[in-house]
Structure 1
């Protein structure tokens, strides 16, 4: 069955992508699910459902979310070819990891290129150690 032939209330692959982008943008703005929910008039549980793609986000609601997050509605939709869309989806998946957005926000405040490289080497070393130890 084609994703676009799903019933109006059944979430599709596109709904999951929109949800990932809502979550990533919300986290990058430092806004909690509760605060976003209050701002648009829904529960934090509803925000959770939007973010995992369990519930579809209507056009009006998506417009409200974009307004609260200070972004154009277009930020939630795929653009370009399939490879670029897949790459964007993978990036959004990476940003969902706990602490990923915080780490990036802290990293971009480091102005010294040498220090940035040292931080990157430290993080890579920690990741290798964890992989080697099976933790």
Structure 2
């Protein structure tokens, strides 16, 4: 039988979970790196890090400081705001923060739809942008749209 968790133990457990914001920023680093076809090793070399450190950033386990975020934006050729794009409202909004402080944090993950983070999606996007001829690329785009159900 499990012993009840004390208030202090529960607080320590919560503190070890990655912040949803760190997870989101890390997933955006991974998204951009993958879209560029860059390995974790190569990104690590460009930043003076090991690939394990890059993995921890991408999972949100390690927080990315301001200077490192600046370096990432330069190496990945995106504005810093890219890392915060598409952040769910309950994560980034002030109301979400206020609700978390008041103890009304939602238990479900705000990142349930991982379509953009699947390897298949990323490989498809990379292959699509490798098509050199804009007319061919447009025909592929039109073909895919024609094959999908109308919403």
TM-score range (shorter-chain normalised) is 0.5 to 0.7
- State how far apart, in whole Å, the 1-side matches of 2:111 and 2:84 are: 11
1:29 corresponds in structure 2 to: 36
Unaligned runs of 5+ in 1: 1-5, 125-135
Matches within 5 A, 1:28-67: 28-67=35-74
Structure 1 residue 16 displacement after superposition: 0.4
Unaligned runs of 5+ in 2: 1-13, 93-109, 132-136
Contact conserved, 1:26 with 1:32, CA < 8 A, in 2?
Answer: yes
Structure 1 residue 12 displacement after superposition: 1.1
Structure 1 residue 40 displacement after superposition: 0.4
2:124 corresponds in structure 1 to: 103
Count matched residues.
112
Contact conserved, 1:40 with 1:64, CA < 8 A, in 2?
Answer: yes
Task: Pick the structure with more helix per residue.
Answer: 1
Q: Does 1:115 align with 2:143?
A: yes
Q: Does 1:76 align with 2:83?
A: yes
- State how far apart, in whole Å, the 1-side matches of 2:144 and 2:69 are: 36
Q: TM-score, normalized by length of structure 1?
A: 0.66
- State how far apart, in whole Å, the 1-side matches of 2:60 and 2:88 are: 22
1:133 corresponds in structure 2 to: none
Contact conserved, 2:24 with 2:87, CA < 8 A, in 1?
Answer: no
- State how far apart, in whole Å, the 2-side matches of 1:98 and 1:24 are: 10
Q: TM-score, normalized by length of structure 2?
A: 0.60
1:132 corresponds in structure 2 to: none
**Greater Rg over alpha carbons, structure:** 2
